[in-house]
Amino acid sequence: MKINQKVLFLETRNFLLGKTVLIGAICLILFGIYGFYHGSQVIDRQQKTIGSVPLVQKNHLQQIVAHGKGKMVGTTAYYPFFYTANPASPWAKFSIGQRDINPFTLKVKMLAIEGQLYDSELTNPLTLLVGNLDASFVFIFLFPLLIIAFMYNVISEEQENGVWKMVLTSSESISEAILNKLFVRLAIIFIISIVLFLASVLYLKLPLSFPTFRIWLVTTLYLFFWFVLSVIVISAGKSSSFNATVLVSIWIFLCILFPGIANVFVNNSIPVPEAAETAIKQREGYHEKWDQPKKPTMEKFYAAYPQYRKYPVPEDKYSPGWYYAMQFSGDLESANSSEKLFQKLDQRQELSENIAGFNPVIAAQQLLNKIANTDLTSHIRHLKSVKTHHKQIREYFYPFIFVETPTEDIRWDSYPAYKPESYFADSITNGILAIILWSALGLVISYLMFQRNFIQIKDTQNA
C-alpha cells in the first residue's frame, strides 16, 4: 500500500498542532527528569554508604583489637562485625526496585548467621509505602497515560465534529486514512520514548552495553503494547468520552487492581511462617547447648570440621572452641527452616512471574528490576553470598581459637575479603514473550474490529 506523503505530513502537522501533544510530552519529560534525579539520589546515597564501609570496618577492627590486648583470640573474636555490601548495578538508578527496602550493608559477627541475616536497614516506612518515582515508574505508569491522551480521540473526535464524513468522501481508502492516523501517533510516541530513554542514558550515565539495550527493548515493547491496547479500544468506534473512560479504567485495572489482587493471592498461597521459625530455632538451638553436655555439641561440629578434634575441650569448664561450636549448632538446627524460607521466596518469585504472563505491566516492572538486579532474587543472591562470607570468616578464625592464640599475634585484617555478587544477567525471554504475545493478539483483535466497525460499514443513511 502506498502511503501518500502529503496526507501523512498534514496528519502529522494536524496532530502536533493540538495542545495535548505538547503539554503531555513536556509533562512526561519533566516527570522523567525528576525520576532521574530521584533515582540517582537514592542510589548515590546507597553507594556513598557502601563506599564508607572499608574505613568503618578498618577503624572498627582496630578498636576491637586494641581492646583485646592480652586476651585470647577466642574472647576477642566475639566482638567484631564484618561488613558486606551489595553494590548497586549501574541500572539500579533506572529501576530502584526493592533496593530501598532491603539492607545493602549487612554486617555479621562470627556468631550464628541466621539471627543476623535478616537485620533490616533503617528506613522511613511511609517512604517505602509511597514508593519511588524513578525512571521505571515514568515509563511503566505515566507513559501509558500519555499514550491514552494521544489515542482516545483518534477517529471519534472527527466523527463528533463531522470531519470524519469528509475524510470518508475525500480519501481513496478508509483503511489508509486510519493507518495514517495511527502511524503518525505511533511514530510520535516512539520519538518521545527515544528522547526520554536517551535522556535517561545520559543523565543516569547508563553504560552503553547489553543490559541498557535490554531496558530499551523492554520499555519499547511495553509502550507498543499500550499503543495496541488503545487501538483496540478506538476500533470499537465509540465516542471520545467512552474511549477515555474505558482506557483509564483499563489502566487502573492493569496498574493497580490486578497487581493488588495478585499480591494478596501470592501472599495467601505461599505464606512464610519460616521467617519466625528460623529465628526461634536458631536461638534455641544455640542457647540450649549451654545446659547440655559439651560432647554431643562438639561431635556435631567435628562432623563438619574434623581437623579440630585433636584440641582438648574440657567438659567441666567454658572454652572458646565449645562456644563457637554451640553457635554453629544454632545454625545447623535452623538450616532446615532457613532453606525452606529461601525456597518459599523462590516459589513466590516463580508464581509472580507466572502471573505476570497475564499482565504486561507486572511483566515489564519485573523485567526492569531483573535487568537492574534490584529484585528479590538479586537480594537472595546477596544473602547467600553473605552466608558464604560468614563461613569464610569463621574458618579463618577457628584455628586461632582452638590453638589458643593471643589477640595481638594474628593479623585481624587478613581474613578473606568479602566478594560481592557480580552482575547477573538473568533470562528475560519469558516476560518479553508475554508482552509480545499480548501485543500481537491485540493487533489481530483490532484489525478485525476495524474491519467490522469502520471499513466494511454500509452507511445506509447516506447511501
Partner 1 sequence: MELKFIRIIAKQEWNSIFRSKIPLALYTVLLIVSLLAAFTGWQYVGKFNQQQAAAREEVHEHWMKQPERHPHRVAHYGYLVFREKSPLSFFDFGLDSYVGNSVFLEAHRQNTVNMSEAGFSNGMLRFGELSMAMVLQVLVPLFIIFIGFHTVSGLKQNGVLKILLCQKASYLEILLGKTIGLTAVTWVLFLPLQLIGLLVGTALLSDTVNSESFIRVGLIVLLYGLYFLIVTILVVAVSAMSRSAKTSLMVLVLLWILLFIVVPKSAQTLGNSIFEAPDKIAFEHAIEMDVSKEGDSHNPDDPHFSQLKSSTLKKYGVDSIQALPVNYGALVMQEGENISSRIFNNHYDKLIGIYKSQNSVSSYLSFTDPYLAIRNISMSLSGTDFDTFTEFQKQTEKYRFEKTKNLNEIHLTQIKYKNDGNQKVSAKNWQQQKEFSFQSLSLTDNLRNGMINLAALLIWVLAGFMVLNFISSKRKYQL
Residue carrying the nine cell digits 497475564: 358
CB of 145 to partner 1, least distance (A): 6
Min dist. Cβ of residue 301 to partner 1 (A): 20
Rounded to the nearest whole angstrom, what is the least distance from the CB of residue 231 to partner 1 in the complex? Answer: 20
Check binding of 133 to partner 1 (CB under 8 A). Answer: yes
Q: How near is the Cβ of 164 to partner 1 at its closest, in Å?
A: 16
Residue of the chain from 19, 317, 411, 458 that contacts partner 1 (CB under 8 A)? 317
Minimum CB–partner distance for residue 348 and partner 1 (Å): 6
- Judged by CB under 8 A, the residue of 40, 76, 180, 365 near partner 1 is 365
What is the x/- site pattern for partner 1, positions 272-311, by CB under 8 A? xx-xxx-xx--xx--x--xx--------------------
234 touches partner 1 (CB under 8 A)? no
Q: Which stretch binds partner 1 (CB under 8 A): 86-94, 97-105, 296-304, 435-443?
A: 97-105
Residue 203 as a binder of partner 1 (CB under 8 A): the answer is no
Tell me which residues in 135-194 interact with partner 1 (CB under 8 A): 137, 141, 145
Count of residues that bind partner 1 according to CB under 8 A: 82
118 binding partner 1? (CB under 8 A): yes
Task: Write down the least CB distance from residue 170 to partner 1, Å.
Answer: 26
Residues 385-414 that bind partner 1 (CB under 8 A): none
- Cell digits of residue 294: 559439651
Residue in 8, 29, 72, 101 binding partner 1, rule: CB under 8 A: 101
Task: Candidates 105, 220, 347, 453: give the one binding partner 1 (CB under 8 A).
Answer: 105
Tell me how far the alpha carbon of residue 247 is from its chain's centroid.
27
By the 8 A CB rule, do 188 and 154 touch? no
319 binds partner 1 (CB under 8 A): no
C-alpha dihedral sign at 275, 278, 281, 286: negative
Of 53-72, which residues contact partner 1 (CB under 8 A)? 53, 56, 67
Q: Is 115 in the site for partner 1 (CB under 8 A)?
A: yes
Q: Specify the stretch interacting with partner 1 by CB under 8 A; choose among 207-215, 348-356, 405-413, 417-425.
A: 348-356
Q: Does 452 bind partner 1 (CB under 8 A)?
A: no
Q: Are 99 and 92 in contact (CB under 8 A)?
A: yes
Q: ∠ CA 316-319-321 to the nearest 5 degrees?
A: 125
Residue 97 interacting with partner 1 (CB under 8 A): yes
The answer to the question of residue 354 lying near partner 1 (CB under 8 A) is: no
By CB atoms closer than 10 A (0-12, 13-18, 19+), residue 98 is middle
Rounded distance, CA 327 to CA 417, Å? 22
Among 40, 349, 407, 439, binds partner 1 (CB under 8 A): 349
CB of residue 281 vs partner 1: minimum separation in angstroms?
10
Nearest to 281 by CA among 219, 330, 243: 330
Please identify which residue in 12, 29, 38, 405 interacts with partner 1, judged by CB under 8 A. Answer: 38
Minimal distance, residue 125 CB to partner 1, in Å: 4
Residue with cell 536517551: 198
Residues 247-276 interacting with partner 1 (rule: CB under 8 A): 248, 252, 255-257, 259-264, 266-268, 271-273, 275-276
Stretch that binds partner 1, among 162-170, 212-220, 226-234, 242-250 (CB under 8 A): 242-250
